[in-house]
């Protein structure tokens, strides 16, 4: 009688699942409490505490083998923390007064007889908050480095599930008339379907960014040419729900991001044709492509019905003010170069440069242009870190593009590249990565893209992102 093989199968199933447990806790926390970026949101305390526990749990075994290949990225993370801590080092009053942009504040200190040792940051309490705000993305990055090869599809499946839940929640908000009881955060975009977020633009960008990842999960190469009986119908339904969620936000930026996400999804599904795939697999791929095209049609029709195309052509006061802010933003950049005003100080120092004609009831708590805000708050050192991240991302992207079309690593690598590109493009006109949920997903997608770029196994090999 053959021995029972169930224990062996269970061990095979559990072995890659154990490292995913910290990531599961983190994703739940990010989904329920990581959709806002404001410092006063009480959920920030929860998500940062859980991120600290997850980071400790991941590193506590002191097994750093998974980190050996990511030294450059880890040095970059260390540089980010070091820069913020340097901004908190107290300086002699005369040295502090001589810092670029600090002169007017030094004169106030002299006039009030308070010339004491101060840190470079003009708002050290908010710089400390910015330092703590790095914890969720840092925890996600380290946890992702420990995700085993067979756990990636499951991890991204959870992210898709969060996106679907957020889309469904936004539809419930729409159907019930946006009651305050169905808003997770005290300060949210009024009368908007924000889902799990406080800001409708962030909701729209999140949903748009997961579309390429969903397409990558549905790709036959990523699934080992065995997509499962019910996977494609579930993926198609998920895509339609996600696209509908983008539409109901009423976000113009979301419409553009959604279109980019759909184009990327269709290109991923259509790429890497292989005549040796069985006919049923080719039919499944055609079905998935048709579903993506249908979702695109839904986006176009829904956007037209919701008047989003009219909004694109119309004049928007908020959009106009953001364009007109570029000049005073540039003045602020020049005033504080090369060391910056300190992270978290934008809201306080921008009032010094904001012209009278831009004064309005609209509250601009962020620059809505991440490169400009990073330049203002962090100066040249922060811009160098940003450039290094861009170089690392481009290198990983080129590594993915160099993979053969039949490589099992290529679909999810491209999906993550498209997702991170959408988030970075949105950061040129908004601040989505300042929300813990999107910052964490960005970190996870970057690690997955980097992992894919390093995998160049033989054609037909098992995908490093395969499900157990």
Q: Judge contact between 427 and 389, C-beta under 8 A.
A: no
| Dihedral sign for Cα atoms in the order 247, 251, 253, 254 | negative
The tokens of 62 are what?
């002191």
Residue 386 — very low, low, confident or very high, per pLDDT cuts 50/70/90? very high
The rounded distance, in Å, linking the Cα atoms of 392 and 386 is 10
pLDDT tens column, 74-110: 999 999 999 999 999 999 999 998 999 998 888 888 8
HEC states along 146-195? CCCHHHHHHHHHHHHHHHHHHHHHHHHHHHCCCCHHHCCCCCCCCCCCCC
Q: Is the model more confident about 229 or about 7?
A: 229
Q: What is the mean pLDDT of residues 1-27?
A: 62
* Confidence (pLDDT) at 325: 80
Helices and strands (DSSP H and E) totals, the chain: 20, 2
Q: Is the pLDDT reported for residue 459 higher than 50?
A: no
Q: What is the mean pLDDT of the chain?
A: 82
Q: Is the model more confident about 308 or about 230?
A: 230
> What is the DSSP-derived secondary structure letter of residue 467?
-
Identify the weakest region by mean pLDDT among 64-68, 88-92, 458-462: 458-462
Query: Burial of 337 by CB count in 10 Å (0-12 exposed, 13-18 middle, 19+ buried)?
Result: middle
Q: Is the peptide bond before 134 cis (omega within 30 degrees of 0)?
A: no
Q: Is the model more confident about 136 or about 67?
A: 136
The rounded distance, in Å, linking the Cα atoms of 106 and 118 is 10
* Confidence (pLDDT) at 192: 86
Identify the weakest region by mean pLDDT among 122-131, 308-317, 342-351, 391-400: 308-317
* Confidence (pLDDT) at 2: 47
Q: Is the pLDDT reported for residue 337 higher than 50?
A: yes
pTM for the complete prediction?
A: 0.87
* Confidence (pLDDT) at 235: 84
pLDDT tens column, 102-150: 988 888 888 888 888 999 999 999 999 999 999 999 999 999 998 888 8
Residue 362 — very low, low, confident or very high, per pLDDT cuts 50/70/90? low
pLDDT tens column, 240-291: 899 989 988 988 888 899 989 988 998 888 775 554 445 445 555 555 555 5
The tokens of 295 are what?
């979702």
The rounded distance, in Å, linking the Cα atoms of 351 and 372 is 16
> Phi and psi of 202, rounded to 5°?
-70, -35
Q: Is the model more confident about 320 or about 19?
A: 19
The rounded distance, in Å, linking the Cα atoms of 252 and 95 is 46
Q: Is the model more confident about 341 or about 271?
A: 341
pLDDT tens column, 151-200: 898 999 999 999 999 999 999 998 888 887 788 898 888 888 899 999 99
Nearest to 453 by CA among 420, 419, 404: 404
> Phi and psi of 437, rounded to 5°?
-65, -50
């Amino acid at each position: 009688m053959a021995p029972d093989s169930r224990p062996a199968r269970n061990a095979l199933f559990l072995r890659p699942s154990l490292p995913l447990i910290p990531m599961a806790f983190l994703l739940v926390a990010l989904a329920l409490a990581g959709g806002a970026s404001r410092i006063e949101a009480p959920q920030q305390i929860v998500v940062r505490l859980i991120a600290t526990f997850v980071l400790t749990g991941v590193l506590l075994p002191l097994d750093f083998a998974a980190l050996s290949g990511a030294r450059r990225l880890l040095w970059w993370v260390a540089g980010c923390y070091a820069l913020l801590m340097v901004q908190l080092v107290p300086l002699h009053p005369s040295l502090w007064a001589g810092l670029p942009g600090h002169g007017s504040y030094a004169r106030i200190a002299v006039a009030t007889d308070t010339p004491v040792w101060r840190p470079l940051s003009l708002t050290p309490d908010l710089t400390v908050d910015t330092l703590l705000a790095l914890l969720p993305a840092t925890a996600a990055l380290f946890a992702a480095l420990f995700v085993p090869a067979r756990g990636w599809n499951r991890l991204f499946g959870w992210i898709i599930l969060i996106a679907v839940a957020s889309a469904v929640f936004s539809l419930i908000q729409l159907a019930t008339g946006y009651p305050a009881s169905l808003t997770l955060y005290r300060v949210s975009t009024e009368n908007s379907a924000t889902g799990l977020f406080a800001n409708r633009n962030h909701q729209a960008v999140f949903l748009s960014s997961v579309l390429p990842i969903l397409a990558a999960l549905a790709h036959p190469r990523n699934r080992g040419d065995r997509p499962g009986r019910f996977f494609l119908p579930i993926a198609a339904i998920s895509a339609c729900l996600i696209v509908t969620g983008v539409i109901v936000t009423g976000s113009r930026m979301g419409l553009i991001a959604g279109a980019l996400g759909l184009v990327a999804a269709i290109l991923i599904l259509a790429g890497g044709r292989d005549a040796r795939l069985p006919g049923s697999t080719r039919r499944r791929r055609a079905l998935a492509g048709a579903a993506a095209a249908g979702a695109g049609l839904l986006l176009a029709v829904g956007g037209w019905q919701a008047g989003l195309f009219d909004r694109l052509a119309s004049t928007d006061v908020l959009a106009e003010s953001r364009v007109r802010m570029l000049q005073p933003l540039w003045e602020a950049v020049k005033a504080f170069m090369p060391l910056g005003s300190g992270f978290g100080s934008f809201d306080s120092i921008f009032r010094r440069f904001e012209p009278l004609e831009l004064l309005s009831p609209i509250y601009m708590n962020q620059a809505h242009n991440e490169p400009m805000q990073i330049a203002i708050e962090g100066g040249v050192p922060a811009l160098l870190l940003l450039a290094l991240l861009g170089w690392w991302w481009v290198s990983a992207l080129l590594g993915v593009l160099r993979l053969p079309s039949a490589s099992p690593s290529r679909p999810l690598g491209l999906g993550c590249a498209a997702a991170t590109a959408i988030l970075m493009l949105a950061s040129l006109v908004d601040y989505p990565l300042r929300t813990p949920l999107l910052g964490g997903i960005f970190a996870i997608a970057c690690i997955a893209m980097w992992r894919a770029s390093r995998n160049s196994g033989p054609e037909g090999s098992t995908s490093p992102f395969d499900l157990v």
